[in-house]
Amino acid sequence: MTGNPAREVLTHSAEDYLKAIFHLTAGGTAAGTTELAQALDLAPASVSGMIKRLSEQGLLEHEPYKGVQLTPDGRRLALRMVRRHRILEAYLVGFLGYGWEVVHEEAERLEHAVSDALIERMANALGDPHFDPHGDPIPAADGTIAELVYTPLSEIAVGETVVVRRADTNHADRLRYIASFGLTPGARATVIDRQPFHGPVTVVVDGIRHVLGDEIARLLLCARPEVSG
């Protein structure tokens, strides 16, 4: 990624704001103050103050009552943080034996402390991965990121076989539960039954039947085998 002077003056808190806004606006909609406060577990009043400061730095576009969006500079800095976080997760799993359910919290603690040079050394050691252990795309060093669209397992038609590509959660207990069924990224699952009205989904993974509640099935983002790569 290209250097940016604003990177050097941002506090850890400001970096967390930019990363959170990136995630909240991924669908193209602005992030509201209340929504951002919930994501960061902060009071709305303190969020409003930081939004004002980041807007003055040219990192956010804030329209009262309509929420905030990242400016191009803000997006570049947010993607830098996302890259650091996801490379750290991949390294912790790939080289240090961490489970995928615990690396999010470790990466949250480390992402502000490590240097860009160390992150790039980790990326090289990993073979410049495109995805983290949860299947989330890792931004490239030039600031680009893959825009991928997957289908939740809860919406896959009965009889279809798909490949799990992402687990859309950082919740340790949910990740541990998902892993107990073998439904980590790369796993193939065949839907053999789905009950109506958000009922459970029954899948076969490696010849074993599993019944998943709708809440979990919605977190598993899938693609057909021919397009899963």
Q: Is 139 left (phi over 0), alpha (psi -120 to 50) or beta?
A: beta
Burial state string for 3-15 with b = 16 or more CB within 10 A and e = fewer than 16: eeebeeebeeebb
- Give the amino acid at 62: H
pTM of the model: 0.90
Q: Are residues 2 and 98 in the same domain?
A: yes
Q: How many CB atoms lie within 10 A of CB 206?
A: 10
Q: pLDDT at residue 203 above 80?
A: yes
Sorting pLDDT into bands at 50, 70 and 90, what band is 220?
very high
Q: Are residues 1 and 18 in the same domain?
A: yes
Q: What are phi and psi of 191, to 5 degrees?
A: -80, 120
Q: Are residues 127 and 213 in the same domain?
A: no
Cβ–Cβ under 8 Å, residues 190 and 183: no
Predicted confidence at residue 201, as pLDDT, reads: 98
CA 96 – CA 98 distance, rounded (Å): 6
Q: pLDDT at residue 1 above 90?
A: no
Supply the range of the domain harboring residue 132. Answer: 1-147
Q: Are residues 108 and 213 in the same domain?
A: no
Q: How many domains does the chain have?
A: 2
Percent over 90 (pLDDT), the chain: 88
What CATH number does residue 55 fall under?
A: 1.10.10.10
Q: Are residues 5 and 76 in the same domain?
A: yes
Number of H helices, E strands in the chain: 9, 8
165, two tokens: 């590509």
Q: Are residues 112 and 162 in the same domain?
A: no
Q: Are residues 115 and 167 in the same domain?
A: no
Predicted confidence at residue 7, as pLDDT, reads: 44
Q: Are residues 116 and 43 in the same domain?
A: yes
